[in-house]
């Protein structure tokens, strides 16, 4: 929206980026990243997914010049990731918040603000806004060494935002955070994207990625295995979902009959609330009874300086004043508006997980695994016994997912056919550390 | 500049809050005043002052050197090992700025601590005479021989080559030359003998030292000397008649326009002593002579050892000499900070510490180390002289330019000497180390873990 470099097509672009970790003698040991061509457009939330050691972090480190690519090249905001001018437009949150443990929260942010050469007034204003936003205002004078992992994560995120970056590079942004914190970060990412920022995040927490990303790439063995729009990848076009208010059984029977006339199968339950939503509600209720806790406070505030030119007064006022419970609900209009894909939510995750753990209880409509599962096939009612999301559509797996699943199930059996790839991933893991 | 400053301040906070510096701080704050009371030296006021300044400054210097090595290495390696550098170096700060910030932080901390401790040492030193109720004579001695900065008149070298040649010919004629010793060694031995002879005075004999171009003095001059004797006198004391004044009067007995010092003193042997000589003895033409006569009362030959005679004059105050001595320590600290930064750009913490401590020790004993090479036999000596000796000579010589070597005998540490020494140590050697460090750091992979 507000990018001054819109003539460039991509915010991040890599050209056959390759990183080989070699041993002491210089012999190639591990292909951590292998011929990677990644394109992140301006003003999109791009998710880099992959299991441990798939080369996500190595890729980010090469983008930022912390590692030198063995081959290939990376462009960040149209330039080199080590260039100071480019750096001043990037916010980076590493895989763990590496902080100076002897500084307190405010000093930490002040230090990073100084690195950006922010004038004292702006620095002070932003520090207070960020502390407020990440809910650490009450503990701003405590050394960050005494912080819990989640609190450290919040400070880490605040330092990534202090320069009001155009490009935000987040490595596992939600690790160590409680569900509320996770929800906040997800909301924040969406809001930032709404304001014209580009976000590149890498994670293996699929639910997080799914909620916020416009496009994703799945990395395995340093190579992109699949990429595209989240909607395209996940939407089940051969299914429909109808959600209604509470209606009578007779009405349900009528609907069932209509559907049967269409020769389709249907299932009726009351939608289950997401555990995340339930959790947030519970904590919000407790918060209203003013139970003080020692750690971070959950807020839904967002620093006004983060692209103030697009932030309308209304939204900000609402954000600052609204109570936690309403804001954090996924049903809240702010979230709904931005999440492009709402229907096919976490159902696929569940299936992946079941497959990975090798559980045969659930029926999998997919041919690959079908032989392992119970012989009763094509019975969609079976799936309804899953206690999780009934608001999600029934599982009738799409073709797109098959290739991913095949690979992932291969991963769950390390002695399987893809030994070389497994090797790579393990070694890549070491390289990441 | 802002980002360099931010890193520097952060480094100082790190050193103070992680208690590394605090340990050294407390140690010195406790030790220095204690030493002020416990250091007694030879019991006189001057001895007490000398001991305190010598131990106080040496202790401060060594502790700050260690602190500098530890902090400069720790602050860079811990950032890399604990990975705080990931979030720092990805901000708009160039890598050389990061290192310069670290260096600036360490040096600033050094400046602060060094000023604090030297102020303490200085204050204690200045107030010691009052505190211990020293007598007037003791104070006088301390003022003349300690609370001052004295330069020495250059003693002209004695040319003995003619005598050596004659002696050599004589030995050759008499076929008394030893055969297993080379010509060079014989000459060296003979030179030493002849020079010793020039410094020896038989009973009644007079030794004369001449000094050209002596500037008129406004304060007393001092002759500092040590007697060696051939036969120990019963009370270990000998008489000496000292002259100082116009060389023509002393050498040829002609009329002198300026007063001439002429007095007999009794001094113990094998100790350093000083006699004060009024400034008025220096003649207008600047050609001064100092003479010593072995008084006929003695019945032994008196010999002056090679460093046994100095003619000193006051040329600056104790305070400015002290300041320069502290600056000498500071230049040493800056060198070590650069060394530590360099080591930490490519080594892990323990290895870098070991390397720097080793180099620090070598630099502290460089004179001894270099000298010891000459005792090696020829073949091994060659290997060393092309390798280790070369490295040792690249290191600064901390022992040669030890500040206490100037303050204890109240010798002048001139600005020019300080500039030369600090210039070589900081502007050339430390700068070179820093440049290498910047190059290594600019090209290394930050995220690559050094094991």
Given this model, what pLDDT does residue B415 score? 92
Mean pLDDT over each residue of chain B, to the nearest integer: 88
- Whether the per-residue pLDDT at B256 is higher than 70: the answer is yes
Residue A320's pLDDT is 36
What average pLDDT score do residues B58-72 get? 94
Record: contact B448-A87, CB cut-off 8 A = no
pLDDT band at B92 (very low <50, low <70, confident <90, very high): very high
Largest CA distance in chain B: 85
d(CA A230, CA A218): 11
Closest-CA residue to B27 (of B4, B60, B68): B60
Is B253 at the interface with chain A, CB within 8 A? no
B22 contact A CB<8A = no
- pLDDT band at residue B436 under the 50/70/90 scheme: very high
Residue spans of beta strands (DSSP E) within A267-318 = none
Six-digit token string for B352? 């870098």
Tens of pLDDT, residues B379-434? 676 777 777 777 887 888 888 888 998 999 888 998 999 999 999 989 999 999 99
Tell me which residue of A108, A103, A96 sits closest to A149, measured CA to CA. A96
* Lowest pLDDT segment from A16-25, B71-80, B98-107: A16-25
Please give the torsion angle defined by the CA atoms of residues A286, A289, A293 and A297, in that order, rounded to the nearest 10 degrees. Answer: 70
pTM here?
A: 0.76
In the numeric block, the tokens 């072995």 are attached to: B294
State mean pLDDT over B140-150.
Answer: 87
Q: In B82-135, which residue ranges form alpha helices assigned H by DSSP?
A: 84-89, 95-131
Minimal Cβ distance to A100: which of B3, B10, B448: B10
Hey, what's the torsion of the CAs at A396, A400, A402, A403, to 10 degrees?
-170
Instruction: Indicate the CATH number for domain B202-316.
Output: 2.60.120
- Give the pLDDT score at A300: 61
Contacts of B90 in chain A (CB under 8 A): 64-66, 81, 87, 90, 92
Quote the distance between the C-alpha of residue A156 and its chain's center.
Answer: 16
User: Which residue pairs, CB below 8 angstroms and at least 24 apart, start in B185-190?
Assistant: B190/B164
CB A121 within 8 Å of CB B37: no
To the nearest whole Å, the CA of B345 is away from the closest chain A CA by 14
User: Distance (Å, rounded) from C-alpha A205 to C-alpha B327?
Assistant: 58
Per-residue pLDDT of chain A (433 residues; tens, 9 = 90+): 444 444 567 899 999 999 988 877 777 778 888 889 999 999 999 999 888 888 888 999 999 999 999 999 999 998 888 888 999 999 999 988 899 999 999 999 999 999 999 999 999 999 999 999 888 999 999 999 999 888 899 999 999 999 999 999 999 888 888 888 888 888 889 988 988 899 999 888 888 888 889 999 988 888 888 888 888 877 777 777 788 888 888 888 888 888 888 888 887 877 777 777 888 888 788 777 765 566 666 666 666 677 554 433 333 333 333 343 333 334 333 333 333 434 443 344 444 434 444 433 433 344 433 344 344 444 443 333 334 443 444 444 444 444 444 444 444 444 434 444 444 444 444 434 3
Min distance B346 CA to chain A CA atoms (Å): 15
Query: Which of A65, A115, A163 lies nearest to residue B6, judging by beta carbons?
Result: A115
Cα distance from N-terminal residue to C-terminal residue, chain A: 37
Tell me phi and psi for residue A11, to 5 degrees. -75, -35
Note the CATH number of domain A10-233+276-338: 3.40.50.300
**Chain A contacts of B3, Cβ < 8 Å?**
114-115, 117
Residues A115, B445: C-beta atoms closer than 8 Å: no
Mean pLDDT of B330-342: 96
- Which residues from B are below 8 Å from A20, CB to CB? none
Q: Provide the pLDDT for residue B111.
A: 96
Share of chain B above pLDDT 70, in %: 98
Residue B132 — very low, low, confident or very high, per pLDDT cuts 50/70/90? confident
Rounded CA-CA distance B367/B369 in Å is 5
Q: Boundaries of CATH 2.60.120 in chain B?
A: 202-316
Determine the Cα–Cα distance for residues A357 and A16; give it in Å rounded to an integer: 34
Strand, helix or coil at B430?
helix
> What size, in residues, is chain A?
433
Determine whether the interchain pair A88/B449 forms a contact, defined as Cβ–Cβ distance below 8 Å: no
> Which residues in chain A (34-63) have CB-CB distances under 8 A to chain B?
61
**Chain A / chain B CB contacts < 8 angstroms:** 80
Contact A115 B82 (CB under 8 A): no
Of the candidates B128, B1, B141, the residue with the CA atom closest to the CA atom of residue B56: B128
| Contact yes or no for A192/A311 (Cβ under 8 A) | no
Q: What kind and span of H or E run contains B408?
A: none
Listed in sequence order, the DSSP H helices in A289-418 are 313-321, 324-328, 333-338, 347-357, 367-370, 380-384, 400-412
Judged by CB atoms closer than 8 Å, whether chains meet at A66 and B86 is answered as yes
Instruction: Quickly state the pLDDT bin for B130 (edges 50, 70, 90).
Output: confident
Q: Across the interface, do A115 and B94 touch by the CB < 8 Å criterion?
A: no
Tell me whether B130 touches chain A (CB under 8 Å).
Answer: no
State the complex-level ipTM.
0.80
**Contacting residues of B for A433, CB less than 8 Å apart:** 449
Q: Any CB–CB contact under 8 A between B17 and chain A? A: yes
């Amino acid at each position: 929206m507000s990018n001054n470099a819109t003539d460039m097509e991509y915010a991040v672009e890599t050209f056959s980026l390759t990183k080989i970790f070699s041993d002491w003698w210089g012999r190639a040991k591990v292909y951590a990243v292998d011929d990677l061509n990644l394109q992140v457009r301006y003003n999109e939330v791009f998710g880099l997914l992959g299991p441990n050691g798939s080369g996500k972090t190595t890729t980010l480190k090469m983008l930022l010049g912390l590692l030198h690519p063995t081959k290939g090249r990376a462009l960040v905001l149209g330039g080199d990731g080590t260039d100071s001018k480019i750096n001043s437009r990037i916010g980076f949150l590493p895989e763990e918040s590496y902080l100076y443990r002897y500084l307190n929260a405010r000093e930490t942010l002040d230090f990073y603000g100084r690195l950006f050469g922010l004038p004292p007034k702006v620095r002070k204003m932003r520090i207070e806004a960020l502390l407020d936003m990440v809910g650490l205002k009450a503990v701003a004078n405590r050394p960050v060494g005494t912080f819990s992992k989640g609190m450290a994560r919040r400070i880490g995120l605040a330092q990534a935002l202090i320069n009001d970056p155009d490009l935000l590079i987040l490595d596992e942004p939600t690790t160590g955070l409680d569900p509320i914190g996770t929800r906040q970060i997800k909301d924040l990412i969406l809001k930032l994207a709404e304001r014209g920022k580009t976000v590149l995040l890498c994670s293996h927490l699929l639910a997080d990625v799914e909620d916020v990303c416009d496009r994703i790439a799945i990395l395995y063995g340093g190579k992109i295995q699949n990429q595209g729009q989240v909607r395209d990848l996940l939407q089940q076009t051969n299914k429909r979902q109808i959600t209604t208010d509470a209606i009578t059984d007779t009405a349900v029977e009528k609907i069932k009959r209509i559907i049967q006339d269409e020769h389709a199968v249907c299932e009726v339950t009351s939608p289950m609330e997401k555990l995340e939503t339930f959790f947030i509600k519970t904590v919000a209720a407790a918060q209203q009874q003013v139970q003080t806790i020692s750690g971070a406070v959950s807020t839904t505030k967002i620093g006004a300086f983060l692209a103030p030119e697009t932030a309308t007064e209304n939204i900000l006022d609402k954000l600052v004043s609204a109570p936690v419970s309403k804001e954090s609900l996924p049903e809240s209009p702010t979230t709904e508006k931005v999440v492009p894909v709402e229907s096919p939510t976490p159902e696929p995750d569940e299936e992946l997980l079941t497959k990975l753990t090798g559980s045969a209880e659930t029926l999998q409509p997919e041919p690959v695994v079908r032989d392992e599962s119970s012989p009763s096939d094509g019975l969609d009612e079976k799936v309804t016994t899953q206690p999780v999301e009934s608001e999600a559509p029934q599982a009738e797996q799409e073709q797109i997912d098959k290739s991913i699943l095949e690979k992932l199930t291969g991963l769950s059996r390390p002695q399987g056919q893809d030994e070389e790839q497994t090797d790579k991933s393990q070694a890549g893991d070491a390289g990441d550390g | 500049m802002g980002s360099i400053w931010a890193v520097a301040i952060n480094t100082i906070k790190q050193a103070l809050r992680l208690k590394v510096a605090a340990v050294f701080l407390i140690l010195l704050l406790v030790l220095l005043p204690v030493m002020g009371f416990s250091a007694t030296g030879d019991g006189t006021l001057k001895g007490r002052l000398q001991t305190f300044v010598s131990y106080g400054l040496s202790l401060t210097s060594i502790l700050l050197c260690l602190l500098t090595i530890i902090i400069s290495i720790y602050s860079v390696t811990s950032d890399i090992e604990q990975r705080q550098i990931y979030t720092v170096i990805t901000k708009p700060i160039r890598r050389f700025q990061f290192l310069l910030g670290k260096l600036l932080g360490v040096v600033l901390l050094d400046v602060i601590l060094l000023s604090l401790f030297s102020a303490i040492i200085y204050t204690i030193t200045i107030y010691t005479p009052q505190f211990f109720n020293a007598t007037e004579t003791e104070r006088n001695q301390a003022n003349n021989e300690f609370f001052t900065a004295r330069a020495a008149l250059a003693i002209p070298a004695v040319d003995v080559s003619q005598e050596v040649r004659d002696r050599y010919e004589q030995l050759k004629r008499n076929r008394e030359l030893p055969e297993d010793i080379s010509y060079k060694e014989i000459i060296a031995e003979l030179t030493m003998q002849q020079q010793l002879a020039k410094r020896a005075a038989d009973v009644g004999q007079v030794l004369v030292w001449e000094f050209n171009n002596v500037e008129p003095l406004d304060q007393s001059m001092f002759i500092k000397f040590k007697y060696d004797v051939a036969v120990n006198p019963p009370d270990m004391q000998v008489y000496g008649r000292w002259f100082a004044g116009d060389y023509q009067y002393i050498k040829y007995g002609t009329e002198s326009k300026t007063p001439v010092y002429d007095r007999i003193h009794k001094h113990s042997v094998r100790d350093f002593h000083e006699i004060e000589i009024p400034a008025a003895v220096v003649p207008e033409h600047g050609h001064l002579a100092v003479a010593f006569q072995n008084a006929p009362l003695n019945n032994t030959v008196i010999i002056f050892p090679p460093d046994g005679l100095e003619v000193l004059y006051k040329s600056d105050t104790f305070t400015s000499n002290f300041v320069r001595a502290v600056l000498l320590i500071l230049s040493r600290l800056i060198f070590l900070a650069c060394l530590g930064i360099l080591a930490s750009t490519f080594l892990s913490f323990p290895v870098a510490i070991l390397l720097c401590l080793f180099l620090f020790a070598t630099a502290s004993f460089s004179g001894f180390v270099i000298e010891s090479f000459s005792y090696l036999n020829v073949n091994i000596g060659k290997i060393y002289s092309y390798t280790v000796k070369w490295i040792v000579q690249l290191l600064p010589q901390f022992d040669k330019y030890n500040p206490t070597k100037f303050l204890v005998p109240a010798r002048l540490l001139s600005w020019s000497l300080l500039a030369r020494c600090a210039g070589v140590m900081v502007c050339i050697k430390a700068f070179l180390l820093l440049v290498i460090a910047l190059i290594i750091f600019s090209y290394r992979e930050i995220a690559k873990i050094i094991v």
